[in-house]
Every structure is written in structure tokens, then in C-alpha cells.
């Protein structure tokens, strides 16, 4: 279940942190598993004025859904034609001279003027032009701008340690970024937006908002800095609740091995429940209960229980306890807001040795996304209710 009202209100929280800066809601990876188009509409309703995605297909899907807000996309392959992006009025990131040529190919093919955000590697060590190569890239981009081929509308970068706000690299990257912005302005770029902050920086470091912030995880109500506080600390509400109906319950005797490899053995006669979600659905195999250690937490009938034994491809097992009254059809909650004592995505991340980003984004296509929220958000998402189509 995806709560679109939560997404809308989370974006409002982020906008308040951003002050005068605009909010680009990052909706890549199917909006972190929450559903691209429905989440994008809810984010825009919450005050986002931009949308950010990693891949061209994601940007084009937003446009196909009738979304006209500015969209930036930043990851494309060498040789991948960018024509459709320009025709759809999608802004593109440029991290290298080769990428600039790729954009210019699309300009020639379409007759459009490209809107380009030059990405600078201020220290993450991933995408972006090295600062030493920035002047040459800016020269080439501004020359193309003079010919009307493109507009350099943005300078941007990404942080390595935003989730550790006091880490020295945060300040260092901000310094390199400020220099890059100054260089672009001197070169004659027509900058509309300078942007550096992801969700963690948006929530912890208002000085890094510049003109635009790019939060992802917090849009969906999860804390990007769990060591500093959970969602409630920032007024965020987790939007995703993952639950399933038990497909089978049955009594087994003491000493009964459970699931592949019998990593769990029943300590007494008990009731087992079978949950129809497995690693093919995005339930991590690391959620297994192994060698006597309980697996990731679940909630059944108000009780906090755990995955028993190995998570399989399509299912896992929970020991419901001796005499448990549950029957097939009863609900098992894997994670939700936590407000009713259920586990959270953060609890699952901790149990699996990963981050909540991975828990929500990895949910598979077999898990239906059902939406709730204000009628106008459901209608905009094309999932029922409301008047607007």
C-alpha cells in the first residue's frame, strides 16, 4: 500500500527545509519502488516544482503521463540517442566532452535547443567532470550556447558523505562546487539552477540548498540519516506499507526443520505460517533467520515475530507460536510507518545489513502497488476516485 498523502506531505516538509530553493523530487527507480507516475503527481501536489530521474525511459514515462514540470535526467549510455528527450523538453546532464557531443547530435537531429546541466565531480568520485577539465567543457558548452544549440541552465554535483553532515568532505565539496558555479557564470552560462543537496543535505544542512534541492528517500518518508533520527524526527511519514496474507497455517511438532537447509528448527509444537513473498519479490535473502538468529521482523495479529529459516524465491515462513489462532488469509505486515507497532523499512534494513533505500527500491513487479490518499491524487495517478483524469 502506497500512501500518496504521505508523499505530498513529506515534500511539504522538504520544501520548508529548502527555504527559498525549489524542490526537485527524485523519482528514479520507479519512485524508489513506490510507482513513478502516482508518486510524481503527489510530489508535485506537495510543492515540488522539478522531477529528477536517472534514465531516459523514466523521463519519457513522466511526459507520456502528461506531466509538464521540468524534468532532469542524468544517466545515459554512449551512443544512446537523446532525440526523444529533447523533443519531450527534458533537461539532460552532461559530465564529459563526449556527452556534450551526444547532446549536440540530438540537437542537430531534432532542431531543438537542449537544456543542459553540467555535472561536476566535486569529490564523490562517480559521475561528473573532474574540476580540472571543467574549463574546457564549459568553453565547448558555452560556444554551443552562443550558436543557439543549447542553454547551460544548471551546474550541479552530488555529495559523498551527506549522511554524515559533519564529515569534512561535505564542506570541501561545497567549496569546489561554489568555485565551479563561479567559473560557469564567468564563462557565460545562462544558469537557472545550482544544485548539490540530496535528502540528507536538505534535512541537515540548509546552507547547501542553493537554488534547488534534490531529495529522494525522504520524499517517501524514510530517514536518510537514521543515526540522527527516524522519519518522525523530521516530520516525515513512511509512504510504503508492505503486507501479505498468510497462504497457509499448520501445526507442526517440536524439532521440525523449517525451509531449505532447516536453519530453523521448531523448539516446541507450534503453528507455522507461510507468507507468499520471497526474494523474487524483493524480500532480501539476508532477511532469513539463520543458525538460531531470528530473521527480519514481521507483525502478525499485533505480535512482533520474525522470519523463520531461509527466505525462498516465492515465500518465507513465520513461527506463529504454540496455539496461535491465525489462519490462511490473515495479514502479515512486513513493514509500515511503525505507528501501530509494526516494523519499519529501517528495521528491515538493519536486520538485513543494508539501507532502507534498498529495501523499498528492490520490491519486485509481482508485488501490486495499491494506492490510498486524497481523491485528486488517486485520480491524477489514474488509480480511481476523484474527478480529474
Q: Is 304 annotated as a binding residue?
A: no
**Residue 214 contacts ligand PLP per CB under 6 A:** yes
With vertex at residue 350, the alpha carbon angle to CA 317 and CA 279, rounded to the nearest 5 degrees, is 40
Integer Cα distance of 9 and 218 in angstroms: 11
Catalytic residue list contains 119: no
Q: Which of 216, 221, 278, 343 binds ligand PLP (CB under 6 A)?
A: 216
Query: Dihedral through CA 44, CA 17, CA 123, CA 194, nearest 10?
Result: 60
Q: Are 193 and 117 in contact (CB under 8 A)?
A: yes
Phi/psi zone of residue 324: left (φ > 0), alpha (ψ -120 to 50 degrees), beta?
beta
**Residue 231 contacts ligand PLP per CB under 6 A:** no
Please name which of 42, 89, 48 lies closest in space to residue 68, comparing C-alpha atoms.
89
C-alpha cell recorded at residue 350: 538493519
User: What is the closest distance, in whole angstroms, from the C-beta atom of residue 11 to ligand PLP in the complex?
Assistant: 12
Catalytic residue list contains 264: no
Report the DSSP pairing between strands 248-252 and 270-275.
antiparallel
Please give the residues from 177 up to 206 whose contact with ligand PLP meets the rule CB under 6 A: 198-200
Q: Is 1 annotated as a binding residue?
A: no
For ligand PLP, which is the closer residue by CB, 28 or 369?
A: 28
Please give the residues from 101 up to 160 whose contact with ligand PLP meets the rule CB under 6 A: 158
Between the two ends of the chain, the Cα-to-Cα distance in Å is: 21
* Strand, coil or helix: 114: strand
**Binding footprint of ligand PLP, residue count (CB under 6 A):** 11
**Residue 224 contacts ligand PLP per CB under 6 A:** yes
For ligand PLP, which is the closer residue by CB, 225 or 272?
A: 225
User: What is the closest distance, in whole angstroms, from the C-beta atom of residue 374 to ligand PLP in the complex?
Assistant: 24
For ligand PLP, which is the closer residue by CB, 188 or 235?
A: 235
Strand ranges inside 62-113, DSSP E: 71-73, 91-94
With vertex at residue 129, the alpha carbon angle to CA 124 and CA 135, rounded to the nearest 5 degrees, is 130
For ligand PLP, which is the closer residue by CB, 28 or 34?
A: 28
**Residue 33 contacts ligand PLP per CB under 6 A:** no
**Residue 356 contacts ligand PLP per CB under 6 A:** no
**Residue 26 contacts ligand PLP per CB under 6 A:** yes
Task: Give the active site residues.
Answer: 28, 260
Binding stretches for ligand PLP (CB under 6 A): 26, 28, 158, 198-200, 214-217, 224
Amino acid at each position: 500500500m502506497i500512501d500518496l498523502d504521505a508523499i505530498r506531505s513529506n515534500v511539504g516538509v522538504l520544501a520548508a527545509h529548502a527555504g527559498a530553493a525549489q524542490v526537485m523530487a527524485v523519482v528514479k527507480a520507479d519512485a524508489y519502488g513506490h510507482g513513478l507516475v502516482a508518486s510524481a503527481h503527489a510530489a508535485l501536489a506537495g510543492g515540488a516544482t522539478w522531477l529528477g530521474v536517472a534514465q531516459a525511459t523514466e523521463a519519457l514515462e513522466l511526459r507520456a503521463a502528461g506531466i509538464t514540470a521540468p524534468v532532469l535526467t542524468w544517466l545515459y549510455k554512449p551512443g544512446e540517442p537523446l532525440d526523444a528527450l529533447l523533443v519531450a523538453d527534458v533537461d539532460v546532464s552532461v559530465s564529459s566532452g563526449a556527452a556534450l557531443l551526444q547532446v549536440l547530435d540530438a540537437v542537430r537531429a531534432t532542431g531543438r535547443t537542449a537544456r543542459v546541466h553540467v555535472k561536476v565531480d566535486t569529490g564523490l568520485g562517480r559521475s561528473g567532470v573532474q574540476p580540472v577539465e571543467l574549463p574546457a567543457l564549459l568553453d565547448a558548452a558555452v560556444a554551443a550556447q552562443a550558436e543557439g544549440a543549447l542553454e547551460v541552465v544548471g551546474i550541479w554535483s552530488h555529495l559523498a558523505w551527506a549522511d554524515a553532515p559533519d564529515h569534512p568532505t561535505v564542506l570541501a565539496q561545497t567549496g569546489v562546487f561554489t568555485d565551479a558555479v563561479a567559473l560557469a557564470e564567468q564563462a557565460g552560462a545562462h544558469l537557472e539552477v545550482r544544485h548539490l543537496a540530496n535528502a540528507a543535505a536538505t534535512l541537515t544542512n540548509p546552507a547547501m540548498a542553493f537554488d534547488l534541492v534534490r531529495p529522494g528517500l525522504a520524499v517517501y518518508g524514510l530517514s536518510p540519516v537514521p543515526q540522527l533520527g527516524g522519519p518522525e524526527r523530521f516530520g516525515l511519514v513512511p509512504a510504503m506499507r508492505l503486507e501479505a496474507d498468510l497462504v497457509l497455517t499448520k501445526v507442526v511438532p517440536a524439532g521440525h526443520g523449517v525451509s531449505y537447509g532447516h536453519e530453523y528448527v521448531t523448539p516446541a509444537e507450534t503453528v507455522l505460517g507461510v507468507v507468499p513473498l520471497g526474494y523474487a519479490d524483493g524480500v532480501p535473502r539476508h532477511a532469513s533467520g539463520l543458525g538460531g538468529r531470528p530473521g527480519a521482523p514481521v507483525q502478525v495479529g499485533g505480535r512482533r515475530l520474525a522470519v523463520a529459516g531461509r527466505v525462498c524465491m516465492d515465500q518465507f515462513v513465520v513461527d506463529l507460536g504454540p496455539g496461535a489462532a491465525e489462519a490462511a488469509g490473515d495479514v502479515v505486515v512486513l513493514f509500515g510507518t511503525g505507528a501501530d507497532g509494526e516494523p519499519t523499512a529501517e528495521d528491515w534494513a538493519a536486520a538485513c545489513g543494508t539501507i532502507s533505500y534498498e529495501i523499498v527500491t528492490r520490491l519486485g513487479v509481482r508485488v501490486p502497488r495499491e494506492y490510498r490518499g486524497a481523491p485528486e491524487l488517486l485520480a491524477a495517478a489514474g488509480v480511481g476516485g476523484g474527478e480529474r483524469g
